[in-house]
Amino acid sequence: MHFNANDSILVNIIASVVVILAGTLVVKLINRFFSGRLQADNRGSYRAWTVASRNLVAAVVFLLLLGIWVSELKSVAISLAAFAAALLLVGKELVMCFLGAFMRMITRPFQLGDLVEIGPFGGEVIDMDVMSTTLVEVAAARQYTGFTVQVPNSMLLTTAVRNHSQAGAYTLDMVRIPLAVGDDPEVVEALLMQVARRACEGFMEEAGRTLRRYGDMRFVDLSQFEPRVIFEPYDVTRFDAVVRFPVPVSARLAVAQQIVRGYYRERAKVQPAAAGATPAADTPAVQP
């Protein structure tokens, strides 16, 4: 039986459809396999395996499609070059997304499960592909908003990436306490240090080991990881106390709230005592 050019193209189309459907089926089976075995303690590893498997299947499908159509592509090489030139002019963002994905693969600024900030967007990385990076959004107050954000990979070429999980399970975080100009910095610092040490005492040693190990790897001095309080002027009527403290990446909100609540609770105890001592000091002594 003799096949002409149209028959060859039809066979290629049918083979391409079969390859794409098979790849889609394999991805769905992989997702079902890992979803059925998902537990709280293996969520991160299963997510990584799911994304890696899906990207591997996509690469295999792409190579198979390329092999199916390679003979046709050879015959239209000149047209393909013209198409590529047009794609660079019209689809610059698409090309930049591919380049951003390639740069992410080479430099690895973050991984699945890391808490990152990419430009104005911040959140936990839950998915990565050649076009975008998907985040579960985390607000400035360290709370999950419930929204997902798809950041185009082209932003990785032009925007700084801040990774809060680079050191591992622990990081350094800060919380800001607004103060009036009349507040005593020494009293405020003592209260904040007391509250921060109490909030961090359960993981202080392990956090210190993790941060020192990361600092040694990066040639950065992270030996001063214990809670610290500094004061920054805001305007003529206010200055801020900034508390820096070690914290598990997964517990940033809880520890920060513990420090804030503990400070105001301790301050509420100190102020009535100081107010009660003032009249006693001003009361004149009784003459015998």
CATH number, domain of 236, equals 3.30.70.100
Flag whether 155 is in a domain: yes
Q: Which residue has the tokens 């950041």?
A: 151
133 and 57, same structural domain? Answer: no
64 and 141 in a single domain? The answer is: no
Query: Are 153 and 180 in a shared domain?
Result: no
Token readout for 154 is 């082209």
Do 198 and 256 fall within a single domain? yes
* In a domain? residue 99: no
Do the domain assignments include residue 65?
yes
The whole-number pLDDT of residue 61 equals 87
Same domain for 22 and 76, yes or no, is yes
Q: Are 118 and 161 in contact (CB under 8 A)?
A: yes
Contact 126, 134 (CB under 8 A): yes
- The structure tokens listed for 111 are 């991984």
User: What is the predicted pLDDT for the residue at 280?
Assistant: 45
Asked if residue 128 is part of any domain, the answer here is yes
pLDDT at residue 224, rounded to an integer: 84
Cα separation of 3 and 16, whole Å? 18
The answer to the question of residue 276 being in a domain is no
Q: Please indicate, yes or no, whether residues 15 and 69 belong to a single structural domain of this protein.
A: yes
Please return the burial class of 286, using the count of CB atoms within 10 Å of its CB with bins 0-12, 13-18 and 19+: exposed
- The runs of H, that is alpha helices, within the chain are 5-36, 43-75, 77-90, 92-107, 155-158, 185-200, 204-218, 252-282
Residues 152 and 203 in one domain: no
Residue pointed to by tokens 């990979």: 153
Q: Kindly state whether residue 197 falls inside one of the protein's structural domains.
A: yes
Q: Based on the domain organization, do 197 and 262 belong to the same domain? A: yes
Domain of 239 in residue numbering reads as 170-270
Q: Is residue 131 part of a domain?
A: yes
Give the per-residue pLDDT at 28: 85
Last residue of a domain, one of 42, 57, 92: 92
In a domain, 100, yes or no: no
N- to C-terminal Cα separation, the chain: 131
Total number of domains in the chain: 3
Give how far the C-alpha of residue 1 lies from the chain's centroid of Cα atoms, to the nearest Å: 59
Please state the pTM of the whole predicted model: 0.61
Claim to verify: residue 260 and residue 180 sit in the same structural domain: yes
Q: Are residues 217 and 253 in the same domain?
A: yes
Check residue 275 and give its pLDDT: 57
Do 176 and 159 share a domain, yes or no? no
Same domain (yes/no): 201, 155: no
- pLDDT (0 to 100) of residue 65: 83
Determine the Cα–Cα distance for residues 72 and 67; give it in Å rounded to an integer.
Answer: 10
Q: Which residues of the chain have pLDDT under 50?
A: 1, 3, 280-288
Give pLDDT tens digits for 17-60. 898 898 888 888 887 777 766 665 556 666 677 777 888 888 88
Whole-number pLDDT of residue 286: 37
